[in-house]
Chain A
Amino acid sequence: MSSWSAGWSRAAAVLDRPLGAWRRSVSLRVVATTMALSLVVVAIVGLLLVNSINGGLLAAKEQSSLVEATAGTSEAQSLMDAADTGPTTPSASRLVDSVTGGLLARAGSPGRVVALLASPPERGETPERIGVAGGGPGGDISEASIPLDLRAAVQRDSRQSWTYTEILYTNGATVPGLVVGAPLSVPGAGQYELYYLFPLTEEQETLQLVQRAVLVVAILLVLMLAGIAYLVTRQVVSPVRVAARTAEKFSAGQLTERMSVRGEDDLAKLATSFNDMASNLQTQITRLEQLSRVQQRFVSDVSHELRTPLTTVRMAADVLYEARGELDPAAERSAELLQNQLDRFESLLADLLEISRFDAGAAVLDADPVDLRALVERAVDAAAPLAERKETEVVVTAPDTVCLVEADARRIDRVLRNLVVNAIEHGEGRPVEVAVACNDEAVAVTVRDHGVGLKPGESSLVFNRFWRADPARARTTGGTGLGLSISLEDVRLHGGWLQAWGAPGDGASFRMTLPTKVGGSMTASPLPLEPADAGGRGRQPLRPYRDPRREPDAAAPVPSTAGEGGSS
C-alpha cells in the first residue's frame, strides 16, 4: 500500500509540471481544446471535400472513357465485319494487327492503351495476347493490368464492362487506371476482347493537388482558430489575471491597489465589484489598524501614567520597609504587607502590559544569534535562590558544542526563567531536569519536574490566561497566572513551539522548540516532549498542547513513544 502510494506520488511528480501548467492556465486549456475540436471538424470537412472532388473527377473520366471505348469497339467491329465481307479473307493475325494499328492511330493521345486479347477456349487459361498497342510512362503495358474478373465478366456477358484497377507496366511501375472491355468477334478467328486502358494519372495528380491544398488549408485553419481562441481567451483571461495580481498585491498589504474599469461589460462589472470589495476591506482594515494603534497608544500611556506614581509608591514603601525596625508592630507589619503586595502588583502590571502589547500586535522581535546553553545557564542561575529555598536540585544536560539560535535574548530568557521557576515551584523538592539539544534547523529545551503533574486535558489549559492547576494553591505559590501565556506568545513570536506534557503523579514537562533562523521552518524538535522515564502510575495518553496556528498538523514532531530522539 505504501509502496504503491509512493510510486503513485513519484509518477504524479513527473507529470506535475505539464499538468500544473494545464491546471493553471485557462488560455492553454481553451487553446488546446479549440485545436483538438477544430482538428476533428476540419478533418471531417476535408475528407468529405476530397471524396466529393474525387467522385466528380472519376465520374467525368468514366463518362468520356466509356464513350471513347464504345466508339472504338464499334469501329473495330465494323472494320472486322468489313474485312469479313471482302473478297479475300486476310489471316486473323494480320487483321488484328491492322485493327489495333488503326485503333491506336485513332486513339492518338498518349497513355491510352488498347489491348486485343483472344478469348481462351476455357476459362482460367492464360489469355493469348494478340496485340497491345500504346505505351505509358513506364514503358510497355503489361496485359496483367487487365483484371481476370473483368475478362470473365466480358466473356460471360458478351457486352461492355469496366472497372478500376492498377495499370501495370512491364518495368514494374503502376498507375491507377480505368479498364473498359468489350467482346469483339473476328471473323474466322473466333471471339476476341478489346480492352481500353485509361491511366488516371492526370486525375490522380489533380486529386493530390486538391488533397495537398485541403491539408494546407486545414492546418492553417486549425492554427488560425487556435490563434483566435488565444486572442479571445486573452480578452477574458487577462482582466482575470490583472484581478488576481491586484488581489495578490492587495493581500500583500498594498491597500490602495485597484483595478481599472473599462467599458460596461461583465469584466468591467468584475473590476467594479472587486474595487468595491477592496474599498470596503481597506476601510475595515484601516479602522482596525486605527483601533490597534489606539489600543497600543492607550497601553503605552497607561503604562507610563501608572508607572510613574507606582515608582514613587514603590520607593516610599522601600524606605518604610528599610526603616520598619523603628516602627511600632502594627506599622511594621503594614510596611511588610505593603512591600510584598507591591511586588505582586508590579509583576501583575508588567505582565498585563506585556500581554496587551502582544494583543495589540505591538510586540517586536529583536533577534540576534545567541548560544541557547548560555541563556539556559543564566536562567538556572537566576532561579538558584528559589531552588535553594525550596531545596530543589536543578540538573542541566546540555551538549558540549554551541547551540546557536537567532533569538530575542530578553524574551527567551523570560521564557526559560518562567519554565524553570514554575518547575521548581511545582516540583515539591524533587529534582528539576533541564535538557538542551540542537540540530541544524531547530533548538530545544525541556524543563521537567517530578511534582504532582497535570491531570488529563490540563496540558492544553496551562497556557490559558490566569489558569491555575489548583485554585487553592494560587495564593501561596504567587505568580500572576500570566507567565505561561506570555511565554507562549514570546515563543510564537519566534515562530517556535511551546508544548506541555504531564501525567498525574508523574510530574510535568515543558518543551520549547525554536527554529535556528528567524522565520525558518522546523519539522521536528530535537528533544522528545514526553520524558523517557515517564509511564509510571496513572500515565495519561499523550496529548501535548500544540499551537494550531503555527504547527503543521502532519509533521507530528511529537514522538509517540517515550525515548525517541535519544538525549534526555
Chain B
Amino acid sequence: MAKLHLINRAALPLHSDLLIAGAHCAFATNSEQILASVNRWRCPVRPRSEHTFEMNVLLDSSLPSDRDVLTQTHFRGLHHLVFAVIGAYELFVFDLLRKRVVGAVSQASATDSAFWNSHWLPITVGVMGTTVGAVPVHSACLDRDGRGLLIAGVSGAGKSTLSVALARCGFALVSDDWTYISKEADALIAHGIDAPVKLLPDAIQHFPELAGHTPKTWFNGELAFEVEPKAFCESGAGLRSRPHWLMFLERTTSRGCDFTPCSPDDVQAFFESSAERLPHQVPNASAERSAVIRSIAACRAWRVRTGESPQGTADAIRQFCESN
C-alpha cells in the first residue's frame, strides 16, 4: 500500500520557532512528541526574514518504525530539491529555492530526540544553511575566552581527536567537524550544534576511556565512536564563538609542532573546494557562501604540521594562541 502524505502547513496545529546554528527555522508539526523532541532549539517567536526556513513534519503513526537512521538513510539531490529516505517509508524533501523542508516520519522518529538533535536537525542545517545565511564549513571550532579557533584539514587529519584534546586543556568545544558561520552586524559568528563528537577507532590509543564504547557505522560508511562532548570536555560545549585563529592541521612523521603563516588565497581555496557544489538554481546561496568564505580568509591563519600526539599538539596550540 502506497503511503501518501499531503502536508499543508496551515493544517499542522503545532508551531514553534527554532534557532539552529544561527538559522531560524519556522517549525510545524502535528505531533506533541516531535515538538518535545526539538524543544532544546526553541527560541522566542521572531518574524520571518531572509534567514528563515520553514520545516513541516507530519507524524504518520501507520509508518513502520523498523528503520535504522545511520545505515538506512539515503540522500540525493537534483536542481533545487534534495531527497532523503529513511528506511522504506520515511521521506523528506528539502527545497532550497523556497527555503522549505517537508517530511513524514514514523512514531520511532517522533519520539527519538537523539534522531532530531544529533542527526536530523544538524543535517537539515547542513543542507539548508547556505540558503539562510548559516554557511557550513568543514572545520572544527573551539572557543577560548570568546575567541574562536577554527581547525581545518582534510578528512582523517585528526580534527576531532585534536578538538577533544584541546577541550581538555582549556578550550570549549563548539564543533568537531562542521561549523556553521553566519554574519551578525558584519561580524563572523561560528556556531556549533552540540552534536556528539565522532572519533575514529584509532582514537582509542589517545583516549582509553573509549574502551567502554562501541564504534558505529555512519551515513558515509565511516566507522566511528560517537561521544557526547560533555563526556570529554571539562570546559563543556559552547554553541558559538567569534572566529579569531584559523589553523590547517597536517600530520607529519617528524617530531614537533610547526606553525607557518597561511595566505588568504590558500584559505579561500581550501574552503571553496571542500564545500558541496551548489546548484545554479540557487545562485544567491553560492554568492553568499563565497562572501562568508572571503571573510573567513581574512582571519589570521597558519598551517600546523605536527608529529606530536593530540595532547602534545593541543598544548602547543594553546601556547601559540596565548601569544598570538
Q: Does chain A bind chain B?
A: no
